[in-house]
Structure 1
Amino acid sequence: MISIKTSEDIKGMRVACKLAAEVLDYITPFIKPGVTTGEVDRICHEYMVNVQGTIPAPLNYCPPGYTPYPKATCTSVNDVVCHGIPGDKVLKNGDIVNLDITVIKDGYFGDTSRMFFVGEPSILAKRLVETTYDCMWLGIAQVKPGAHLGDIGHAIQVHAEKAGYSIVREFCGHGIGKNFHEDPQVLHYGRPGTLEELKPGMIFTIEPMLNAGRREIREMGDGWTIKTKDRSLSAQWEHTVLVTETGFEVLTVSAGMPAPPAFITQPITTTPLTA
């Protein structure tokens, strides 16, 4: 059942999502060669709890069949597709890393992720990351009342495959609100005009994962970390999006977020929230 959010829900989601994005702004200068993913996680965790007064949603998150997730963030480096557990891994020049942040504020979940270059990336890595970013925004651009979830997946799939990349199919975007994961599932591939129709008040994430090689994945022994099976690079970006009466509103906005691509003509607000 897909929930339609009330005006009160939307107000709460705007706050939680903005706070999640601001964690990514805050951590940006710390992501450089020589730092460990565990240190990145510690800095984020302290900022969430001590500065924002938010709760890191991943910490001890435990879906059926899983062991509790042990950290506050997910740090996915190079061939890690998603859910990389922070630890002793030292970031080195040329690495690419996805940092996935979900915070809880006043019962609402805000979820977003960004790619970071550690030092100077290779041309191949830079192209993968930039194409994935465009894919996310092409998906977002489909969002309006009367459109379908299949329209989002199709726009992402066409652009990714045209660039020579594959799309991970085992993981997808999701509804979000007072729960971390709600209906609907938002696939990053598909056919136009299929799946659920979008209605004002729906809130969900769009978070495509693109692999430089084949789409197949493998799960590591910790029960969480997902890598590309062929060890090729993987990239992901994520925003949380609201379906409005006329189109979309990106909720995970912040002053330091990367600018939308030139093909996004709708203004994306990063103005401070009013009390």
Structure 2
Amino acid sequence: MVEIKTDAALELMREAGRVVANALAAVQAAAAPGVSLLELDQAARAVLDAAGARSPFLGYRPAFAPTAFPAVICASVNDAVVHGIPTTYRLRDGDLVSIDCGAELDGWNGDAAVSFTVGTPRPADLALIEATRRALEAGIAAATVGHRLGDVSHAIGTVAREGGYGMPADFGGHGIGRRMHEDPHLPNRGRPGRGLPLRPGLVLAIEPMLMAGGRDEYRTDPDGWTLRTTDGTRAAHIEHTVAVTEDGPRILTLP
């Protein structure tokens, strides 16, 4: 069931989104060659704890997962697309890192992700991140009253395909509110004019995931969580929680 949020609920979700933004900023500030993924997780935990927020990631176990997720961030490096589990791996110069983080505050959730490079960037990685950012911006711009879910999906997919990038089949954005994952599912590809009409108070986590090799296939690590490109090429993932309003899209996970 799709829940339409009140203005009061959107204000509470904005506060949760602010915590997410601060956690992502802390993680990115801590990221440097030699820093472990577990240390990045600790940086995010400190922000959530200071805000009195709960992590909706920690202990989360959807149907596909063999175990509950053990961290407050997903840390996906290089060919990892999404859902990477933080480990003792230490960042290296030139790594491409995608961090996904959520926060629950006063019963409402925020969810966002950022991709960035560590140390000396590869030009191809910067182009991939920029294309992912533009795909997200296109999806947000389409999240307006009078459009349909397919318009958002189509906007994201158009940017990705024009850049020659792949997108993992079966994965995309989602509704969000009292729970981190709510209806509707938001594919990163779709046909314009199709799907759920966008109404004021609908809140979506919009999250393009682009893969440099141009293929849509992916593989799953033995941990049952981490998705990787099948050809070893790099991936990027950027996300915001966005409310549909009468005044246009409202991003709830800005700093």
Answering whether residue 231 of structure 2 is matched by residue 210 of structure 1, we say no
Deviation, structure 1 residue 181: 0.5
Amino acid at match of 1:239: H
Equivalent in the alignment of 1:167: 167
Structure-2 residue corresponding to 1:123? 123
Pairing 1:62–2:58 present: no
Give the TM-score taking structure 2 as reference length: 0.97
AA matched with 1:251: L
**Secondary structure of residue in 2 paired with 1:141:** helix
CA RMSD of aligned residues (A): 1.0
Q: Is the 8 A contact 1:4 1:202 kept in 2?
A: yes
Tell me the amino acid that sits aligned with residue 107 of structure 1: G
Q: Distance in 1 between matches of 2:82 and 2:192?
A: 27
**Partner of 1:239 in structure 2?**
240
Letter in 2 for 1:81: V
1:87-126 to structure 2, matched below 5 A, reads 87-126=87-126
Alignment of 1:226-265 (within 5 A): 226-254=227-255
Equivalents in 2 of 1:29, 1:15: separation in Å?
21
Report the counterpart of residue 6 of structure 1 in structure 2: 6
Say if 2:22 and 2:47, in contact at 8 Å, map to a contact too. Answer: no
Q: Residues 111 and 253 of structure 2 are in contact (CA less than 8 Å); yes or no, is this contact kept in structure 1?
A: yes
Structure 1 unaligned regions, length at least 5: 255-275
Q: What do residues 200-230 of structure 1 show as CA deviations (whole Å, max 9, x unaligned)?
A: 0000111000000111001111111111111
Which residue number in structure 2 is paired with residue 149 of structure 1?
149
Q: Deviations over 1:36-92 (max 9, x none)?
A: 11111112112211x111111111111235211111110000100100000111110
- Residue identity opposite 2:149 in structure 1: L
The CA distance in 2 between the partners of 1:124 and 1:116, in whole Å, is 12
What is the alpha-carbon distance in structure 2 between the residues aligned to residue 141 and residue 48 of structure 1? 29
Q: Percent identity?
A: 41
What SS class does the counterpart of residue 110 from structure 2 fall into?
Answer: strand
Deviation of residue 126 (structure 1)? 0.8
Alpha-carbon distance change, 65 to 134 in structure 1, aligned in 2, over 3 angstroms: closer
Distance in 1, matches of 2:86 and 2:101, equals 12
Shift of 1:168: 1.6
User: Does the aligned pair in 2 maintain the 1:31–1:116 contact within 8 Å?
Assistant: no
Kept after mapping to 1: 8 A contact 2:19/2:47: no
Using the TM superposition, give the Cα deviation of residue 157 of structure 1 relative to its aligned residue in structure 2, in angstroms: 1.2
SS in 2 for 1:45: helix
3-state SS of 1:135 partner: helix
Please, which moves more after superposition, 138-147 or 164-173?
164-173
Q: Do 2:99 and 2:113's aligned partners in 1 also have CA atoms closer than 8 Å? A: yes
Structure 1 segments (4+ residues) deviating >3 Å = none
In 2: Cα distance, 1:150 partner to 1:249 partner: 19
Superimposed CA distance per residue, residues 230-269 of structure 1 (whole angstroms, 9 cap, x where no aligned partner): 1111111000000001311011011xxxxxxxxxxxxxxx
AA in 2 matched with 1:14: R
1:172, CA displacement in angstroms? 0.9
- Work out the CA distance in 2 between the residues paired with 1:43 and 1:134: 28
Corresponding pairs, count:
253
